[in-house]
Amino acid sequence: MPGKIDSEIKKEIAKITMTASLGVAVITAPFLKRNKLMKNIHTGAGVLLAGTALWHHFLYHSEKKSQKALSAPDKPKA
Protein backbone atom coordinates (compact mmCIF):
# COMPACT_ATOMS: atom_id res chain seq x y z
CA MET A 1 0.00 0.00 0.00
CA PRO A 2 1.40 3.43 -0.87
CA GLY A 3 2.51 5.80 1.87
CA LYS A 4 0.06 8.57 0.99
CA ILE A 5 -3.60 8.10 0.19
CA ASP A 6 -4.82 10.13 -2.78
CA SER A 7 -7.38 12.86 -2.04
CA GLU A 8 -9.88 11.22 -4.40
CA ILE A 9 -9.66 7.98 -2.39
CA LYS A 10 -10.22 9.94 0.84
CA LYS A 11 -13.32 11.52 -0.70
CA GLU A 12 -14.67 8.10 -1.72
CA ILE A 13 -14.01 6.69 1.77
CA ALA A 14 -15.88 9.65 3.28
CA LYS A 15 -18.84 9.14 0.92
CA ILE A 16 -19.03 5.41 1.63
CA THR A 17 -18.84 6.03 5.39
CA MET A 18 -21.59 8.65 5.20
CA THR A 19 -23.80 6.29 3.20
CA ALA A 20 -23.25 3.39 5.59
CA SER A 21 -23.86 5.45 8.72
CA LEU A 22 -27.03 6.97 7.23
CA GLY A 23 -28.23 3.47 6.39
CA VAL A 24 -27.61 2.27 9.94
CA ALA A 25 -29.45 5.30 11.33
CA VAL A 26 -32.45 4.64 9.08
CA ILE A 27 -32.56 0.92 9.87
CA THR A 28 -32.31 1.42 13.64
CA ALA A 29 -34.89 4.24 13.80
CA PRO A 30 -38.02 2.04 14.18
CA PHE A 31 -36.49 0.22 17.16
CA LEU A 32 -35.59 3.27 19.27
CA LYS A 33 -38.41 2.96 21.84
CA ARG A 34 -38.06 -0.77 22.39
CA ASN A 35 -34.34 -1.39 22.60
CA LYS A 36 -31.64 0.62 24.37
CA LEU A 37 -28.88 -1.00 22.30
CA MET A 38 -30.55 0.17 19.08
CA LYS A 39 -30.84 3.67 20.53
CA ASN A 40 -27.11 3.72 21.25
CA ILE A 41 -26.27 2.38 17.77
CA HIS A 42 -28.59 4.97 16.21
CA THR A 43 -26.92 7.78 18.16
CA GLY A 44 -23.45 6.53 17.26
CA ALA A 45 -24.41 6.34 13.58
CA GLY A 46 -25.65 9.94 13.73
CA VAL A 47 -22.42 11.14 15.30
CA LEU A 48 -20.40 9.21 12.72
CA LEU A 49 -22.49 10.73 9.92
CA ALA A 50 -21.93 14.26 11.22
CA GLY A 51 -18.20 13.66 11.64
CA THR A 52 -17.68 12.19 8.20
CA ALA A 53 -19.78 14.94 6.61
CA LEU A 54 -17.51 17.51 8.22
CA TRP A 55 -14.41 15.61 7.09
CA HIS A 56 -15.84 15.37 3.57
CA HIS A 57 -16.48 19.12 3.54
CA PHE A 58 -12.93 19.90 4.59
CA LEU A 59 -11.53 17.56 1.92
CA TYR A 60 -13.17 19.69 -0.78
CA HIS A 61 -12.47 22.97 1.02
CA SER A 62 -8.73 22.33 1.26
CA GLU A 63 -8.61 21.44 -2.44
CA LYS A 64 -10.10 24.82 -3.39
CA LYS A 65 -7.59 26.67 -1.22
CA SER A 66 -4.63 24.88 -2.77
CA GLN A 67 -5.88 25.62 -6.29
CA LYS A 68 -6.19 29.33 -5.46
CA ALA A 69 -2.68 29.38 -4.05
CA LEU A 70 -1.29 27.70 -7.15
CA SER A 71 -3.08 30.02 -9.58
CA ALA A 72 -2.01 33.28 -7.86
CA PRO A 73 0.64 35.12 -9.88
CA ASP A 74 4.05 35.69 -8.34
CA LYS A 75 4.90 39.22 -7.34
CA PRO A 76 8.06 40.63 -8.92
CA LYS A 77 10.90 41.27 -6.48
CA ALA A 78 11.99 44.86 -6.06
Q: Is there a contact between 14 and 70 (Cβ–Cβ < 8 Å)?
A: no
| In the predicted structure, residue 3 carries a pLDDT above the cut 90 | no
Give the 3-state DSSP-derived string for the chain, with helices as H, strands as E and coil as C. CCCCCCHHHHHHHHHHHHHHHHHHHHHHHHHCCCCHHHHHHHHHHHHHHHHHHHHHHHHHHHHHHHHHHHHCCCCCCC
Cβ burial, residue 31 (10 Å; 0-12/13-18/19+): middle
DSSP designation for 29:
G
* Residues present in the chain in total: 78
Is the model's pLDDT at 65 over the cut of 70? no
List the domain boundaries for the chain: 7-64
Mean predicted lDDT score pLDDT of the chain: 85
Is the pLDDT score of 59 beyond 80?
yes
- Whether the pTM exceeds 0.85: the reply is no
**Between residues 24 and 65, the one the model is more confident about:** 24
